[in-house]
Amino acid sequence: MLNKILITGVSLSLALAVVFTGHAPDVVYKLIPGYFSDPNNAWDDSPLTLRKVTEARLPERVIDKRVGQQSAAREGLAIKAEKQILFGDTHVHTTNSADAFMYSLPMMHGASGAYPPAYACDYARFVSQLDFYFLTDHAESFTYSQWRDGIDSVQQCNRLAGDPQNPDIAAFIGWEWTQVGQVAENHYGHHNVLFKDDDPESLPSHPIASVGMGVATIAARSSEGKQSSLLRLIDPRHRGYYAAYNNWVENMAATPVCDTDVPSPELPANCYESVATPGELFSKLDEWGFDTMVIPHGTSWGFYTPPNANWSHQLNAANNDPEKTKLIEVYSGHGNSEAFRDFSVRRKDDAGLWYCPEPQANYLPSCWQAGEIIRDRCLVAGIDIAECDARAIEARHNFVQVDTVYAFMTVPGSTPEEWLDSGQARDMYLPAFNYRPKKSVQYGLALQNHEDPANPQRYRWGFIASTDTHSARAGHGFKQQQRTNTTDSTGPRDQFWNDIFASTAKVTTTAPKSLRADQIDPVAAKIYASEFERTTSFLNTGGLAAVHAEGRSREAIWDAMKRRETYGTSGHRMLLWFDLLQDGLEVPMGSAVAQSNNPRFRAKVVGSFKQLPGCPDYIIETLQAKHLDKMSLGECYYPSDERYLIERIEVIKIRPQSFTDENIEKLIEDSWRSFDCEPSQDGCTVEFEDPDFSAQGRDALYYIRAIEEPIATINGGNLRTTFDDNGNAVATDPCFGDFRTEVQDDCKNPGSQRAWSSPIFVDFE
């Protein structure tokens, strides 16, 4: 009997050992709560498993066809310039970024495993068929091995691209400096640091991070950033992937902090360096001496930008470097940051005290809605109407006293539906979440610093757009489909995993009375909390950067970016030319000129190609089927011969401030002119003059916005708000990143793809 018991015990132990090492038959795991199908073993490789770039090239005929199609478009519009328009993605994260690693965990809705740097090359070359891309993983996630992995993948990509003067793709590297200020006064925001070369000898030995944690989804560089070891018991098939995440957090924590008294180039490669301000970042980059660009992005995204954040405190000698910051990201997969609007999260009265502004047609302040939520709860609880009105006033007051992004936590236990569409820009194309107007591109371009009247400072940004992808899918906006693959929408995969994910959060109980600022706990603001759940309705497939380059080489691409001869698109590959007509010459977008006569301009735009379903045969024949399916689920850039029509071209005029505190709103004319286009596959041409420039006698800048015919667009309706007859929001239908919205639901609404030219800066001489 004893032997039988021992044998039974040993057998049971062995069986459990097999189960919890992930090697039992799948039927066994179906008995465990939270089970989901994984027929392709998507999580076998972790981001710590180095991958190689696919050793193949695009057929030369593909590149030749692109060149031929552009030549035909130029000929159709009588364009003499011979520069090529090249399309790329300047903002690509892989699972070498800690937040991307977290989004890829098995418990996440729509996740499909690791997307390391090598995937970015394969996706950009074969799936999206870009001309160039930049790896920009978070510097705050730095470990030396992952930094070198990124460099190695870029070098592999370039070495396989053929003739360096005519490659099928050009790969670049950089990093994201993910700065987040707790309050507006110390907030500068996210910036991408880009480099021209891929040789480690011509690159910093380590990225330079921002001081602090960056955003909430970047793992802390300590044991606090680790996932619970219970996950390996709950989901034993993928225990190795969870363990890899924790190993990486340990590797980050084990990276020593750099000596702040030592110049950056003299530091050991394997130390963690961070700075607090853009000025300090510029100084460190100057120490290295490499050719560098620093590009602000996601500037108006209220997910991390404190209320009342403003470009003003960054526009000074200490924190502005015009040579490095020649470009700005006007649009990305995290929304549009272009336009200024006349609303605000909160305002100050004559006594300098914060108050909650009333709703307006294009904006419902979140502070106002906080009062409505508390009043409704109060009335449902059967409390006196007068008391409920007083609590609503108190709730609005409590909300605006919070200087951080956590003001929504003054309403305890709130849900996304309770907030309606408060805090959102209603009259804007795919806006960034919780829009911050004074961090918009237009507002920054209208500012001028007059501390030194002889040398006033201003921003002269050229425009680009990008994806800001966190799955190595560079340039994935070519088709409006596969929302959970081509956007950063994420969350728990089902109710079981939601309960696990939420189990460690400190969530306040719903109550009919608001909390004061000193009563809220930002630690409770997990990614699943009400305000962050709404962000997934504002995530889209992202944009592209376009350059007018004198060839296909990396040098030609880099030089075009330095000249600001660039434009951004919302994802489609429109061809765009915007020139100043001056003395018989065509001065391209991005240029700065001085003149006293009225300027005249010409814009020419051709619509992008409509897409065929699936992937071209040469892609299917080149990539392993499993690899292609993981990256793209069988959908690639696959242009037909038919183009979308350009509906109209809008012209925006901005006059920079001529004195301190000049009213910004009156200086931004959007749109200053608008031209409807005749339907034509050959595109649209408009020519116009500013008849007021000489009479106004002040500097101005001009750019165009080209708009295609509308198509069904992922998250085109954002929160899909329902309004009553008086224009008041009464309900929303959020597009969640988690299990509450089906993977197959792309949450589409009609929207027009667009392109933004870089400005032409015309100074009054």
How confident is the model over 49-108, as pLDDT tens digits? 889 999 999 999 999 999 999 999 999 999 988 899 999 999 999 999 999 999 999 999
- pLDDT for residue 439: 98
Domain ranges in the chain are 60-341+438-453+464-490+538-764, 347-424+506-526
User: What is d(CA 693, CA 71) in angstroms, rounded to the nearest whole number?
Assistant: 35
- Does the pLDDT at position 23 exceed 80? no
pLDDT tens per residue across span 611-648: 999 999 999 999 999 999 999 999 999 999 999 999 99
Helices and strands per DSSP (H, E), number in the chain: 19, 28
Average pLDDT value for residue range 326-355: 97
- Does the pLDDT at position 270 exceed 90? yes
User: What is d(CA 596, CA 335) in angstroms, rounded to the nearest whole number?
Assistant: 37
DSSP 8-state assignment for residue 457: B
The answer to whether the beta carbons of residues 128 and 474 sit under 8 Å apart is: yes
DSSP 8-state assignment for residue 239: H
What residues contact residue 176 under an 8 Å CB cut-off, 6+ apart?
Answer: 91, 93, 97, 136, 137, 138, 139, 190, 191, 192, 193
- pLDDT for residue 95: 96
- pLDDT for residue 20: 55
Handedness of CA 227, 233, 239, 241 (dihedral sign): negative
The pTM is what? 0.95
pLDDT tens per residue across span 577-592: 999 999 889 999 999 9
Average pLDDT value for residue range 122-149: 96
- Does the pLDDT at position 217 exceed 90? no
Handedness of CA 675, 678, 679, 680 (dihedral sign): negative
pLDDT tens per residue across span 506-541: 667 889 999 999 998 776 655 446 788 899 999 999
pLDDT tens per residue across span 249-260: 999 999 999 999
- Grade residue 12 by pLDDT with cuts at 50, 70 and 90: very low
Mean pLDDT of the residues in the chain: 93
**Omega before residue 671 within 30° of 0, cis:** yes
- pLDDT for residue 22: 66
User: What is d(CA 386, CA 395) in angstroms, rounded to the nearest whole number?
Assistant: 14
Report the CATH superfamily, name and number, of domain 60-341+438-453+464-490+538-764.
Answer: Metal-dependent hydrolases (3.20.20.140)
- Does the pLDDT at position 389 exceed 60? yes
Q: Give me 96's structure tokens.
A: 């070498």
Strand-pair category, 646-654 with 700-714: antiparallel
The answer to whether the beta carbons of residues 117 and 141 sit under 8 Å apart is: no
Q: How far is CA 81 from CA 70, 74, 87, 566, 579, in A?
A: 11, 8, 17, 15, 11
pLDDT tens per residue across span 224-255: 888 888 888 899 999 999 999 999 999 999 99
- pLDDT for residue 28: 87
Average pLDDT value for residue range 155-172: 96
